[in-house]
Chains A and B, each alone.
Chain A
Amino acid sequence: MAYQVPYFSSQRMASQPVKVSSSKMRLAIGTLCQFLSLSGFSPISPETLRQAKFNKREAVGPLLSLLAELIDFSTATQCAKSPQFNREETVYVVHSGMLSRHFQRRQFYLCLDIDNSTCHSSRELLIAIGWLICTESLLKQMLFSKETSSLRSFPDVSHKLQERKIYMINTREDMEAPSSFEQYLNGLVWNMGKCRLATKQWYWKEQEIVKLAHKIHVATQGVSLAKNRVCLSPADVTILRYKDKLEKHLHTVEKENRRLQMFFQWLEKEEIFWQWMESVIDAENSERIQNEDPAARSQVDDSYPFDDYSKTLADLSSQLDTTLKEVTQRMQFYDKSLMEKSVPSGETGNPLDVRFQFVPKRVKDHIPKSIVHSQSDWSPVGGIKDIEEEILILSKRLSSLEAKLLEQRDAFSCSCTEMLASIDGVVSIPPILCNQR
């Protein structure tokens, strides 16, 4: 499994590993935690992520909740903090969510214990969170999503919608099973009537909003707090009119500002965070190695010449590059020489009048015909021959062979007939000749 890491990772492969100070790493992790918290997700501390790196049990709970919320958010549900999942639902949401996103880390699914609604590895949860954030660009989505913004709506009525939704669900669940079709119909009509009258109320509320907004626009014509408007909006008027709402709004704007600042910080520190995530995977690998057979492990220790091997690999790759260049040059040289031989002196040579040159079978089909290798293995047997002459020769030989075959057949059939004449009751049937070519 590999992250879609930015260029930083490939640069690291080519050059020496860049060491980052622990304070910068802490800052990067802290930025992520703050941004998630300001976006309305369950607050999570950098210490929790650090504990997860070392697979501590204490980090399982918060990371499991966070992962469930991130999955829920990325599934484009209505709010960043959807109805609180209980423990069982959280594990189920996490399992099914990551599976549907083709997260192919086997250890993650092995660690999730659906029966006991828990997870045995906080490190796996951390890796999953990192994968999800990276592959789905969740932080960018959060930045532009209305649901995670503190300024989403004014006033915010999403909680009322949620209450109404829960009320309707509970009402449906409380309905007794109808004992007759008539009762079932009555219940349905009753429900429909509720919806119909609720829709009417909504209609009149919308009318009220439009009327009041129009009144505000007319009354505040010429005064504006925004560049693209010529009047105040209802939200502006509410803020200006009520001091406590102004303070609340300022507080909200400051919070949103901090969130934006965190995001910009994250853009600068992102590479450091992914580097730290790779160290999490390294920690997991080294732990796995430590848990392997000690006899096998003893062969791999600090004295193992890894540097020598990497140098050898680098040398071999440069040698391969050089060899490839030489071969290409030689091919170009022989190509030129062939072209000179095939075009007679004084003639320009019509490029369309290319004669097919017979080349031995050893040469593969995909090698261009003009290439002739200089090494002895590749030289044609008996020199280059004209194909038309060869076809004539072969056809003559074929016809002579056919004539010989016919003579021999006749001779044999005669001898057979003479032999069988002396034996009574035996008939000689000549073989069927295939005269068609």
Chain B
Amino acid sequence: MSVISLQLGQCGNQIGQLFFDTLMSDLQQREKERNSKEYQSRCLDRFFVSGEDHKLEARAISVDTEGKVVSNVFDQAKKTGRWCYPSDQQLSGRRGAGNNWADGFYNHGAKCEQEVLDLVQRELEKCDHFGGFCSLMSIGGGTGSGLGTRVTRALKEAYPKSFLINVLVWPHSAGEVIVQNYNAVLSMAHLSESSDALLIFQNDDIRKIAQTLGSSPKVTFDDMNRVVSEQLVASLQPAVSHDGSDNLLGRYLEHLVPHPDYKLLTSRFLPQVSEAAVSFSTFNWPALTKRTFQMLLTQSVIDEGLNWHIKPSNSRNKTLSNLMVIRGKGCQSVDTGIFSSPEIYPSWIPRGAGFASFTQSLPLLRYEKSTSLLSNCQTPIRALDTMVSKAWGMFAMRAYTHWYTRYGMQEEEFIDCFAKLEQTIGNYNSV
């Protein structure tokens, strides 16, 4: 199964470059392991293709309205010497989207939509078994949110039978950009229609995790991007289910998001231990699974300050589906029975159908044992509700709406987007 990554905007490109780098680092560490050749070839086949001079090229398309970020990312990949981006699979402009969703969607998106589709077609022809698209973008700015939304819609129209998952980075709640809430609301509303699944990483949580993993309290965007890329690698690298079938993207989506009204996914990864502390830590499977389950019950993605009084019966986090990827020695014997507890699922989900797991005996990166849980649950709803409220507060005053309407956007579109997200929030709250 081959996954084509679309790196959209600055955030998407930076995360994408770190994602492929982390993959290669993991594969390099696994080279010395026994029985790792088949795993390596499956991993490489999934994310890379052998290009000219037998060099590994990422199955990726880089798009940004500014050329600086893309060229930087390409250079960094080349520097590693192990892999690179295909030189003809990039598209960049001269002028950014100015943190304006409408500029990204109506202006830049309209101009480069067809070119992006051509690049995608070229990449698709290299795949024997196409597994799906994975778009990486942030929704607080202009390019990732606006152009990314446009490209996602175009992909869905051009390849209606394909699987499409969008990895979204939500901005800090404190606010980096004044109109980030508008951008986020508009993006979320459009993406919830065109995409199959939205995997959400909130900057606030990622920052805290990065602080735990880092040696210094100062956290850079690079550290945060690394956290996101590690969690993506943990979820998307090859693994097998109990019946021997691969963790294809289609399988993930079939299990996690079969209901079209519920598409929001959250990622939880353990252990969250700094590189320095890893060698002094011991992990056992019961502790990892128990902590992951408690994170799920408490709506937390951080392995700190968990409230152990919350039980499945009094948890406020209803889950529609959970998918766990377990990596490390002895993974087949891990007891995941707690995740099948019927109290955390709605009654219309059949018993036992809400949880699935995949295993891989080879460890991941520096972690001897690791668990990665993808959940379709109510965790992101509170943040989404806050975002919508803030955006609505601004829209009620018609603050900064002229920035959007000058690109041809109507006010009705705002109202439609608010309505869609209210519906999404209502659906999740009623689970």
Q: Which of B128, B163, B243, B259 contacts A200 (CB 8 A)?
A: B163
A162 to chain B, nearest CB (A): 12
B residues 144-173 near A (Cβ < 8 Å) are 161-163
Assess whether A171 is in contact with B350, with CB atoms less than 8 Å apart.
yes
Chain A residues whose CB sits within 8 angstroms of the CB of B163 once the complex forms: 197, 200
Secondary structure of the A contact surface, majority rule: helix
A43 to chain B, nearest CB (A): 28
- In the docked arrangement, what's the CA distance between A197 and B162, Å? 10
- In the docked arrangement, what's the CA distance between A184 and B346, Å? 12
Range of interface residues on B (Cβ < 8 Å) = 20 to 34
B residues 216-257 near A (Cβ < 8 Å) are 243, 248, 250-251, 253-254, 257
Q: Which of A183, A186, A212, A215 has the most CB of B within 10 A?
A: A186
- In the docked arrangement, what's the CA distance between A163 and B245, Å? 13
Q: Which of A186, A192, A193 contacts B348 (CB 8 A)?
A: A186
A174 on interface, CB distance cutoff 8 Å: yes
A188-210 interface code vs B (CB 8 A; 1 in, 0 out): 01111110111011011101100
B353 on interface, CB distance cutoff 8 Å: yes
B260 on interface, CB distance cutoff 8 Å: yes
Assess whether B347 is in contact with A197, with CB atoms less than 8 Å apart.
no
A127 to chain B, nearest CB (A): 43
- In the docked arrangement, what's the CA distance between A183 and B251, Å? 24
- In the docked arrangement, what's the CA distance between A163 and B349, Å? 20
Chain A residues whose CB sits within 8 angstroms of the CB of B347 once the complex forms: 176, 178-179, 183
Assess whether A201 is in contact with B251, with CB atoms less than 8 Å apart.
yes
- A184-B250 contact in complex given A203-B161, A208-B129, A212-B128, C-beta closer than 8 Å: no
Q: Which of A196, A201, A215 contacts B248 (CB 8 A)?
A: A201
A175 on interface, CB distance cutoff 8 Å: yes
Q: Which of A189, A197, A207 contacts B250 (CB 8 A)?
A: A197
Q: Which residue of B lies closest to A173 (CB)?
A: B350
A172 on interface, CB distance cutoff 8 Å: yes
- In the docked arrangement, what's the CA distance between A329 and B196, Å? 95
- A171-B129 contact in complex given A184-B348, A194-B254, C-beta closer than 8 Å: no
Chain A residues whose CB sits within 8 angstroms of the CB of B258 once the complex forms: 190-194, 196-197
Chain B residues whose CB sits within 8 angstroms of the CB of A212 once the complex forms: 128
- A174-B129 contact in complex given A197-B250, A200-B161, C-beta closer than 8 Å: no
Q: Which residue of A lies closest to B163 (CB)?
A: A200
B130 on interface, CB distance cutoff 8 Å: yes
- In the docked arrangement, what's the CA distance between A222 and B347, Å? 60
A167 to chain B, nearest CB (A): 9
Q: Which of B128, B196, B260 contacts A211 (CB 8 A)?
A: B128
Chain B residues whose CB sits within 8 angstroms of the CB of A201 once the complex forms: 248, 250-251, 254
- A190-B250 contact in complex given A163-B243, A197-B258, C-beta closer than 8 Å: no
B37 on interface, CB distance cutoff 8 Å: no
A82-106 interface code vs B (CB 8 A; 1 in, 0 out): 0000000000000000000000000
Chain A residues whose CB sits within 8 angstroms of the CB of B250 once the complex forms: 197, 200-201, 204
B393 on interface, CB distance cutoff 8 Å: no
B380 on interface, CB distance cutoff 8 Å: no
B431 to chain A, nearest CB (A): 9
B400 to chain A, nearest CB (A): 37
B46 to chain A, nearest CB (A): 13
Assess whether B129 is in contact with A204, with CB atoms less than 8 Å apart.
yes
Assess whether B128 is in contact with A208, with CB atoms less than 8 Å apart.
yes
Chain B residues whose CB sits within 8 angstroms of the CB of A189 once the complex forms: 259-261
Assess whether A190 is in contact with B161, with CB atoms less than 8 Å apart.
no
A residues 386-416 near B (Cβ < 8 Å) are none
B351 on interface, CB distance cutoff 8 Å: yes
A46 on interface, CB distance cutoff 8 Å: no
A130 on interface, CB distance cutoff 8 Å: no
- In the docked arrangement, what's the CA distance between A201 and B253, Å? 10
- In the docked arrangement, what's the CA distance between A200 and B253, Å? 11
Chain A residues whose CB sits within 8 angstroms of the CB of B254 once the complex forms: 194, 197-198, 201
Q: Which of B129, B161, B162, B348 contacts A187 (CB 8 A)?
A: B348
B356 to chain A, nearest CB (A): 11
Assess whether A172 is in contact with B350, with CB atoms less than 8 Å apart.
yes
- In the docked arrangement, what's the CA distance between A191 and B254, Å? 10
Q: Which residue of A lies closest to B2 (CB)?
A: A208
B352 on interface, CB distance cutoff 8 Å: yes
Chain A residues whose CB sits within 8 angstroms of the CB of B349 once the complex forms: 187, 190
Q: Which residue of B lies closest to A197 (CB)?
A: B254
B349 to chain A, nearest CB (A): 7
B257 to chain A, nearest CB (A): 7
- In the docked arrangement, what's the CA distance between A189 and B346, Å? 14
- In the docked arrangement, what's the CA distance between A186 and B261, Å? 10
B214 on interface, CB distance cutoff 8 Å: no
B131 on interface, CB distance cutoff 8 Å: yes
B391 to chain A, nearest CB (A): 28
Chain B residues whose CB sits within 8 angstroms of the CB of A176 once the complex forms: 347-348, 351
Q: Which residue of A lies closest to B257 (CB)?
A: A193
Q: Which residue of A lies closest to B125 (CB)?
A: A211
- A186-B350 contact in complex given A201-B254, A204-B250, A212-B128, C-beta closer than 8 Å: no
B137 to chain A, nearest CB (A): 23
Chain B residues whose CB sits within 8 angstroms of the CB of A193 once the complex forms: 257-260
B158 to chain A, nearest CB (A): 15
- In the docked arrangement, what's the CA distance between A222 and B253, Å? 42
B340 to chain A, nearest CB (A): 11
Q: Which of B243, B259, B348 contacts A178 (CB 8 A)?
A: B348
Assess whether B350 is in contact with A175, with CB atoms less than 8 Å apart.
yes
B278 to chain A, nearest CB (A): 37
- In the docked arrangement, what's the CA distance between A290 and B76, Å? 99
Q: Which of B248, B250, B257, B350 has the most CB of A within 10 A?
A: B350
B337 to chain A, nearest CB (A): 16
The 10 residue pairs across chains A and B that have the minimum distance between CB atoms: A193-B258, A187-B348, A201-B250, A208-B129, A197-B254, A174-B350, A174-B351, A194-B258, A175-B350, A183-B348
Instruction: List 19 other contacts, CB 8 Å, given A174-B353, A194-B254.
Output: A174-B350, A174-B351, A175-B348, A178-B348, A183-B347, A187-B349, A189-B259, A189-B261, A190-B349, A192-B258, A194-B258, A196-B258, A197-B254, A197-B258, A200-B163, A200-B250, A204-B161, A207-B130, A212-B128
A and B contact pairs by CB, cutoff 8 A, 29 listed = A171-B350, A171-B352, A171-B353, A174-B352, A175-B348, A175-B351, A176-B348, A178-B347, A178-B348, A183-B348, A186-B348, A187-B348, A190-B258, A190-B259, A191-B258, A192-B258, A193-B258, A193-B259, A194-B258, A197-B254, A200-B161, A200-B250, A203-B161, A204-B130, A204-B131, A204-B161, A204-B162, A204-B250, A215-B128
